[in-house]
Amino acid sequence: MKHWQFLFSVLLAFVVLAGGATLDEKQRGWIFQPSDRSWGNSAEQVQDMQEVWIGFDSRATGQTVRLHGLWLPATGPAAWSGAKAPLMLYLHGARWNVEGSAPRIRRMQELGFSVLAIDYRGFGKSSPGLPSEHMAAEDAGAAWDWLGERQPGQPRYIFGHSLGGAVAIELAARVDNEAGTIVEGTFTSIADVVGTMQWGWLPLRLLITQPFDSVDKVSRLGAPLLVVHGSDDQLIQPALGRKLYEAAQQPKAFVLVEGGSHYNTNSLGQAQLRVALDTLFNASPTGAQVMPQVSPQWLRP
């Protein structure tokens, strides 16, 4: 969804709708855009990934939930993390289901992770329903616990792309057993995202029911944070990623991928990400680390 379409929808809801519940539902629909659609030929890339199912009773809805996920084990130990391959919980963004993240999942495996990626409620094969900030947090927490129970004794990392970055920050602020958090193309808050749009000066902040205030949570993280952003991201401005990084405590790192958009930063910046993982999560520096740029010939498509 383009910026102007999103803003027009928000403005229309704020002006026309009178019911608070309806306004909340509209916002949840616009923010998550839940669907069972995948991206491109991603279905072919999940053929060797194992399907997993995670069940739990939701406190938010009082219903039994069944989450669908994909599991891709590491092919060998990660060079930057020692003998045991680390685990990663992958949290995708809006609009596309977990299959749409298959290329990203594979890139994380190439970096040495065993990856569990899940669909929130309302996406793909997971339980139906309109997602919310609170429900997505519940889903991420259930997947985090599932991963720890079935793969005990291994370091666990949280990764989130775009909207999934906000879900990742919320989870990392709530748990105390993560080895680190990585977010890509994410933001400080929904209000700040709206504020970057053409009519962002309008006083809409008090009407937002799904705030995703990551900037208020990021300082509570107890493990290293890596923030990755593309310099040409037109959907979530790099300044928001930088602001999120600045609000976090040490140790932390910020990687700006030159030429990276909201969709290709993960592939274009793979070499930079590898350097950042080694520097931040292996060496555990006490000072801020802003990763150097990597010359184009070393970037992997």
Residues 108-122 have pLDDT tens digits of 999 999 999 999 999
Q: Does the pLDDT of residue 259 top 90, yes or no? A: yes
Number of H helices, E strands in the chain: 11, 9
Question: Could you give the count of Cα atoms lying within 13 Å of 246 in the half-sphere of its Cβ?
Answer: 7
Q: Which CATH number is 64's domain given?
A: 3.40.50.1820
* Mean pLDDT, residues 158-162 taken together: 98
Structure confidence at residue 23 (pLDDT) = 87
Question: Which structural domain range is residue 158 located in?
Answer: 43-194+209-298
Residue 86 · residue 179 · CB < 8 Å: yes
**β-pairing verdict for 87-91 and 156-161:** parallel
d(CA 298, CA 20): 51
Structure confidence at residue 190 (pLDDT) = 94
Considering the domain boundaries, does residue 227 fall inside one?
yes
d(CA 152, CA 93): 27
Confidence band of 197 (pLDDT split at 50, 70, 90): confident
Considering the domain boundaries, does residue 18 fall inside one?
no
Considering the domain boundaries, does residue 19 fall inside one?
no
Helical ranges in the chain per DSSP H: 3-16, 20-32, 42-45, 102-110, 133-150, 163-174, 190-195, 214-217, 238-247, 265-268, 270-276
Considering the domain boundaries, does residue 2 fall inside one?
no
Which tens digit of pLDDT belongs to each residue from 82-109?
557 899 999 999 998 999 999 999 999 9
Residue 226 · residue 252 · CB < 8 Å: yes
Structure confidence at residue 282 (pLDDT) = 77
* Mean pLDDT, residues 134-148 taken together: 98
Q: Residue 139 is inside which H or E element, if any? A: helix 133-150
d(CA 50, CA 60): 28
Residue 56, phi then psi, degrees to nearest 5: -165, 165
Q: Does the pLDDT of residue 295 top 80, yes or no? A: no
Within 10 A of 63 (CB to CB), how many other CB atoms are there? 11
Residue 231, phi then psi, degrees to nearest 5: -65, -25
Strands of 64-72's sheet, edge to edge? Answer: 50-57, 64-72, 114-118, 87-91, 156-161, 180-184, 225-230, 252-257, 289-290
Percentage of residues in the chain with pLDDT exceeding 70? Answer: 79
Q: Residue 50 is inside which H or E element, if any? A: strand 50-57
Confidence band of 187 (pLDDT split at 50, 70, 90): very high
Comparing CA positions, the residue from 148, 240, 222 lying closest to residue 185 is 240
152 Cβ neighbours under 8 A, 6+ residues apart:
none
Phi-psi region of 93 (alpha: psi -120 to 50; beta: other; left: phi over 0): beta
The separation between CA 148 and the C-alpha centre of its own chain, rounded to angstroms, equals 19
**Token representation of residue 28:** 């949840």
* Mean pLDDT, residues 172-200 taken together: 90
**β-pairing verdict for 114-118 and 50-57:** unpaired
- Count of domains for the chain: 1
Considering the domain boundaries, does residue 135 fall inside one?
yes
Considering the domain boundaries, does residue 52 fall inside one?
yes
Considering the domain boundaries, does residue 34 fall inside one?
no
Q: Does the pLDDT of residue 79 top 70, yes or no? A: no
Q: Does the pLDDT of residue 7 top 60, yes or no? A: no
Structure confidence at residue 42 (pLDDT) = 61
Structure confidence at residue 54 (pLDDT) = 98
Q: Does the pLDDT of residue 296 top 60, yes or no? A: no
Structure confidence at residue 105 (pLDDT) = 95
Q: Does the pLDDT of residue 149 top 80, yes or no? A: yes
Structure confidence at residue 43 (pLDDT) = 63
Give the least confident one: 73-77, 94-98, 132-136, 173-177: 73-77
Q: Find the Cα–Cα–Cα–Cα dihedral 106, 136, 34, 192, rounded to 10°.
A: -90
d(CA 246, CA 33): 29
Considering the domain boundaries, does residue 7 fall inside one?
no
Percentage of residues in the chain with pLDDT exceeding 90? Answer: 70
Structure confidence at residue 78 (pLDDT) = 61
Q: Does the pLDDT of residue 8 top 80, yes or no? A: no
Give the least confident one: 17-26, 40-49, 206-215, 262-271: 17-26
Structure confidence at residue 185 (pLDDT) = 98
Q: Does the pLDDT of residue 38 top 80, yes or no? A: no
The overall average pLDDT reported for the chain is 85
Structure confidence at residue 285 (pLDDT) = 37
